[in-house]
Homo-oligomer: A and B are copies of this chain.
Amino acid sequence: MSTAREAKKAELKKRLIDAAEAEIIEHGLAGLKARAVTARAGCALGSLYTVVEDLDMLVIEVNSRTLTELGATLTDAVSKAGDTPQHALQALALRYADFAIAHQPLWLSLFEHRLPEGQDIPEWHKQEHAVLVEVIAPHLAKLRPDMTREALILRTRTTFAAVHGVVYLALQGRFVGVPMEALKSEIAGLVETLTAGAAQMTKD
């Protein structure tokens, strides 16, 4: 039967994704090597290309996993937060920072990975990023009942990007980033300022 073949191939693919994930955790995205991955997965170098187009596509598979986990933990954070939009947004931002800290190399590879010029990311993987804004949107909507749906979508992305920027530069650890020990309180301060400003602007 052909399902046995497919199952074996799927199992090899899983081993390779596992190995790539472990290598990224140990050596970072830049330290990911095809030979190290295949050695760890216990297969030949060439086998990698029978299961996945590219080493880049293997990274995308790892990133896909990471996004699923990140989405789940963000959803969990919202469910445990108070019912005001302020509480929900604080819980989301804090949980985002916690995830980034706890899974630094995997989280970094979400945003550091680049495809060679010409290629672009498969649509199914682009869609997986939607969760990052979907968890924010309803709470921001409560804060800004004056905004249209379209304006809210944009502002949600902007809000995510603002928090993300603070976490990203802090975890990079150099230049103008906030020191790690101040990150959580600064995130809290940023969200507090944003929610206070949003509430204020709605009054007019």
Given A129-B176, A165-B164, A194-B194: A189 touches B155 (CB 8 Å cut-off): yes
- Partner of A166 from the list B165, B170, B182, B190 (CB cut-off 8 Å) is B165
Q: Digit string of A171-183 for contact with B (CB within 8 Å is 1, else 0)?
A: 0101111110010
| Interface 9-mer from A32-40, A71-79, A195-203 | A195-203
Q: Which residues of A from 137 to 186 have beta carbons under 8 Å from B? A: 154-155, 157-166, 168-170, 172, 174-179, 182, 186
**SS class of chain A's interface: helix, strand, loop or mixed?**
helix
- Partner of A186 from the list B114, B154, B165 (CB cut-off 8 Å) is B154
The residues of B that contact A166 with a CB separation of less than 8 Å are 158, 161-162, 165
The residues of B that contact A120 with a CB separation of less than 8 Å are 174
Q: Is A45 an interface residue (CB 8 A)?
A: no
The residues of B that contact A200 with a CB separation of less than 8 Å are 196-197, 199-200
Q: Is A193 an interface residue (CB 8 A)?
A: yes
The residues of B that contact A18 with a CB separation of less than 8 Å are none
Q: Is A121 an interface residue (CB 8 A)?
A: yes
Given A126-B174, A126-B175: A190 touches B117 (CB 8 Å cut-off): no
A178 to chain B, nearest CB (A): 5
The residues of B that contact A186 with a CB separation of less than 8 Å are 154-155, 157-158
Please list the residues of chain A having a beta carbon within 8 angstroms of any beta carbon in chain B.
27-28, 30-31, 111-112, 114, 116-117, 120-121, 126, 129-130, 132-133, 154-155, 157-166, 168-170, 172, 174-179, 182, 186-187, 189-190, 192-201
